[in-house]
Amino acid sequence: MTNPSLLILPGDGIGPEVMAEVRKIIDWYGTKRDMVFDVSEGLVGGCSYDAHGTPLTDETMEKAQEVDAVLLGAVGGPKYDDLDFSVKPERGLLRLRKEMDLYANLRPAQCFDALADFSSLKKDVVAGLDIMIVRELTSGIYFGEPRGIFEEGNERVGINTQRYTESEIERVARSAFELARKRGNKVCSMEKANVMESGILWRAVVSEVHEKEYPDVELSHMYADAGAMQLCRWPKQFDVIVTDNLFGDLLSDAAAMLTGSLGMLPSASLGAPMANGRPKALYEPVHGSAPDIAGQGKANPIACVLSFAMALRYSFDKGDEADRLEAAVEKVLADGVRTADLLGEEGVTPVSTSEMGDAIVAALNASL
């Protein structure tokens, strides 16, 4: 029996630092839980451009298509701001998502009890928060044609096209309903059917999938702007939210801040099943490359660690081990161990990026 395969793409900025802590945990699972991964590593983003003149080589793209899962750190930085749009670091990430057809982006927003005071909202509003936003990732306004900046008369006009097919909406809706069945059995679909034809189609298709295939799941609809307001007012009313690419980008970042820090939030991007029945998958923290703190040992590795926990759950069928890792993170936080983004309370223990990784490994050892 072959070992599960994992391609690691640390990327730019703090990406290599946080990924180094995940490598400690991968090694721990190999030595302590007899879960050995075949790990390979490659370049993506600015570091790939520096080495190869492209944010993602064909060879790395091919490798990503072959492995069981891809784990990515972060891409980008101000040194690449003046590059042509076609070779900006973010184009490497978009290529991975598009060519792997990773159409369902799962972004959990969970507020650990130890961090409830770090949210900008009142503690009783966010304590115990556990919602999942499912964002359509490979279509919509980020990919629709026509697009570009054109001359029209004597001025410039910027054009982006919001476009969705019925099948694209159906498959991401199914992902949301399947997730809801394993959680609180509720889905809220968000769009702008009041002003956008694509929103009208979105609402209709999600309703049809619900009626035909998932009548046991509670379904509600909400305009995306109202959804943003409700996320700030009472987020615990939601279980699974499903929405399009643009609104999902905005709503998931808003939900991220409910938890107190972007450094805490993982994500998974899932596609169609491979020959082994597992979905093609890419896992990455929600945070960016944070070049202002890169190399200083200040970065919080927890989002990247929790992204690996999502890989254990969704790509490697190890939900019990994902629970173990998430519990270890919660234990470390409950003990008051904090990286720079989570300081501010009395009685906490400030730690570096590496020390936070060591603390999580120690908590994993204590779980045996």
Binding residues: 77-90, 97, 107, 135, 225, 249, 253, 288-300
**How many other C-beta atoms are found inside a 10 Å radius of the C-beta of residue 99?**
16
243 CB-side CA count, 13 A: 26
Annotated binding site for substrate: 97, 107, 135, 225
Q: Is 50 a catalytic residue?
A: no
Annotated binding site for NAD(+): 77-90, 288-300
DSSP string, 133-194: EEEE-SSGGGTEEEEEEEEETTEEEEEEE----HHHHHHHHHHHHHHHHTTTSEEEEEE-TT
Do 284 and 238 form a contact (C-beta atoms < 8 A)? Answer: no
Which is the catalytic residue, given 244, 249, 283, 331? 249
Helix (H) or strand (E) holding 220: strand 218-223
**How many other C-beta atoms are found inside a 10 Å radius of the C-beta of residue 320?**
9
- CA–CA distance, 273 with 281 (Å, rounded to integer): 9
Q: Is 142 a catalytic residue?
A: yes
Q: Is 192 a catalytic residue?
A: yes
Which is the catalytic residue, given 29, 49, 103, 192? 192
Helix (H), strand (E) counts: the chain: 12, 14
Q: Is 164 a catalytic residue?
A: no
Which is the catalytic residue, given 29, 142, 164, 283? 142
Phi, psi of 105 (to 5 degrees): -100, 115
Annotated binding site for Mg(2+): 225, 249, 253
Which is the catalytic residue, given 225, 323, 335, 358? 225
Which is the catalytic residue, given 27, 50, 130, 253? 253
List residues with catalytic annotation.
Answer: 142, 192, 225, 249, 253
